[in-house]
């Protein structure tokens, strides 16, 4: 009888261990644009994210609009990735749920590129809360002809920057300018050196942060401007940055 009990206990422990090994560490929801001129970036990002999720034991789901987003929906995810999706045209319930998610620290957030397209677009008014979340900025202009530029890391000690070079080259980007620098209201992790633009562009803003986090909100959050071209996924620094951001924002 004692041997049977020991055998059963070992079997249960083995099953529990196997289940624990298979259970995902956390769950991610990614909101992305499935069209327009960002579609190639989205395709490349999905391939890379799916592999990272499989290799690192987390799950990732994708949505192409905000129709499903409400508090109950977001409760199932520990990380929200806004993958090239603008801050306008969201359903009212999604706006409320997202603001609560961030303000109450219900999960982490990573935003890319189009997430700072803040202003009046396509007949929509600017989402004021989101503007404050991004440091009180408004979109002003962009380099539509694309440039190569050097990004300088300002806070090498931040976990998101672990393994990222102190400076790295972005091969192709349409760097946005804003009505002001978000620096006074956020913690800047990296900025672009506008003097390195090739070809040279007159579309500049001086102090030009491109990666930052806003410590005034409970959720771990990080905005990474670069996210237009799929060529980004040929950069070791970009992939390291992206990967670090996922695990940091998810609290892992």
pLDDT digit string (tens) for 213-230?
Answer: 999 999 999 999 999 999
pLDDT at 21: 53
Question: Quick one: pLDDT at residue 37?
Answer: 73
DSSP string, 50-90: HHHHHHHT-EEEEESSSTT-SHHHHTT-SEEEEES--SSS-
Burial of 37 (0-12, 13-18, 19+ CB in 10 A): exposed
pTM of structure:
0.90
Q: What's the pLDDT score for residue 14?
A: 46
- The 3-state secondary structure of 164-191 reads CCCEEEEEEECCEEECCCCHHHCEEEEE
**Lowest mean per-residue pLDDT among 33-42, 186-195, 209-218:** 33-42
Closest to 38 (Cα-Cα) out of 110, 114, 90 = 114
Please report, for the chain, the start and end positions of each structural domain, with discontinuous segments joined by +. Answer: 27-249
CATH number, domain 27-249, options 3.30.1130.10, 3.90.930.12, 3.30.413.10, 3.40.50.880: 3.40.50.880
- Residues of the chain with pLDDT > 90, as a percent, come to 87
- CA neighbor of 136 nearest in space, from 127, 144, 145: 127
* Lowest mean pLDDT, pick from 2-11, 111-120, 178-187, 212-221: 2-11
The average pLDDT across 142-171 equals: 97
């Amino acid at each position: 009888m004692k041997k049977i009990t020991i055998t059963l206990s070992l079997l249960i422990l083995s099953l529990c261990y196997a289940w624990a090994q298979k259970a995902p560490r956390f769950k991610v929801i990614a909101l992305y644009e499935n069209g327009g001129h960002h579609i190639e970036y989205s395709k490349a990002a999905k391939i890379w994210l799916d592999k990272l999720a499989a290799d690192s034991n987390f799950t990732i789901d994708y949505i192409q609009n905000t129709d499903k987003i409400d508090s109950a929906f977001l409760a199932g995810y520990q990380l929200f990735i806004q993958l090239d999706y603008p801050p306008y045209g969201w359903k009212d319930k999604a706006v409320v749920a997202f603001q609560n998610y961030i303000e109450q620290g219900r999960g982490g957030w990573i935003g890319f590129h189009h997430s700072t397209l803040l202003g009046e677009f396509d007949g929509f008014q600017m989402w004021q809360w989101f503007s404050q979340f991004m440091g009180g900025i408004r979109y002003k202009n962009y380099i539509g002809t694309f440039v190569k530029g050097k990004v300088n890391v300002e806070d090498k000690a931040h976990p998101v920057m672990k393994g990222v070079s102190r400076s790295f080259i972005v091969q192709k980007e349409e760097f946005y300018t804003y009505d002001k620098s978000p620096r006074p209201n956020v913690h800047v992790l990296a900025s672009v050196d506008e003097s390195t633009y090739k070809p040279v562009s007159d579309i500049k803003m001086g102090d030009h942060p491109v990666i930052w986090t806003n410590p005034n909100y409970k959720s771990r959050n990080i905005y990474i401007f670069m996210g237009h071209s799929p060529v980004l996924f040929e950069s070791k620094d970009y992939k390291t940055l992206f990967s670090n951001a996922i695990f940091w924002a998810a609290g892992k």
